[in-house]
Structure 1
């Protein structure tokens, strides 16, 4: 059955997509989804690439102009707060979930009232699960094991999760690249922490869910293609922002001395990776590691 023919009389959820110069990626995503699927696009680029035009033939779609420069957390909250659906599904413009996958995630929430989020496992171009499908609360031990690369032999030992397909894994937070969310509970918990421009808002949400005594779930049996094309700002800009967001998170939940220990380990670890990448002739990778270090040390890049 074609995408155009695969229509429903009712939908139980709305797909929430934050766009920043992501028209090409959204075109690819929409080509795989039913025309009548409810979807809201929150445009963080002030209409620069006219993503509103992509919704003209989608009867259950909404377009929100964030005004630009809001970051992911604020933009996503804007779409979720204004939704009329009990369940929403967060997606990335460069993710490629199927309706069947989304249905499973939403059905999880319907069946279990204590489940706040249910996420699929994102896979890269090599068809293998990505590192960062979720992860664990940063501690000095976990940060040390991360910089040592211990996750390669002990997948649950460090900071970020790389699931094995079909093998259960229970991270303490989940990435929002393809994640169903119980809207009312999400809002009761305060939504995404808007002090994070991008990155670590998912880590903060996982913490809020745990502290409320509620649950989240990662489906390692549902793999969704991710990274079909770059979206957002330049890669080094994003990596610097990632480093800055990590330090912001650490400061929110740890004493200064503990923050300094973890930040120092991250700086040392990524400095080593920078040197090694340059020695191997991988300048782009080295520049990305260096940008992450810059974020850890001096904060976010200029807008």
Structure 2
């Protein structure tokens, strides 16, 4: 293979690269084998720097697939910044265990995903992807049930139910509740935590109400529902500041909606969020 790769002309290599760039901008196909079938059909329509006879050669096919796989992986690493979502929520005496929505495309471990088994990029943090992970937690079978158990305030319930009505589908970016820990591809320490101490120096985990990540467009967003009854004490305002700081340092936007926003103009709220919740085409 190395000998063959050394003899491939720059024009053929450039032909492969140009094809990759064009297809990655327009197609939703991320499997190397599927990618190669499109490439093969493109060569057969010719004329190209690569001939039909060359594309039929098993060695040259292997070289092409290796090239395509590297470009797909490189594009994915640059686009998928968020690797982990951990959620811990409480409902009465029931505790929902941490749910790790892994999308680690570097090395990975456990439920994280390795580059050798890279699934379709656009499925990251979609409803179908999230529903694969949720059954591993207690008391919960799917995202709709998780949202019901995790959403405690009247405002949160109004918000998630409207999201379900408008957007819930397998390929839609998922609405993930009660995030307390996450990490980015560039984090050397691995995780960012919403953690704070109260006036008695007792440690607590803060949580952001909702998170959504549109993998196809590369847009992450935290959403906080700022009900006045839960955000009026000095300690609560300090927690709010901590959340803003963690999000700002990570470069992930935090969108805050008030009681009036949710109760009086829910349609306006979702007009602001439509670009994130709609599957990218």
Coarse TM-score class (shorter-chain normalised): under 0.3
**TM-score (structure 2 length as normaliser):** 0.25
- By relative contact order (CA 8 Å, sep 6+), the higher-ranking structure is 1
> Which has the higher Rg, Structure 1 or Structure 2?
2
**TM-score (structure 1 length as normaliser):** 0.23
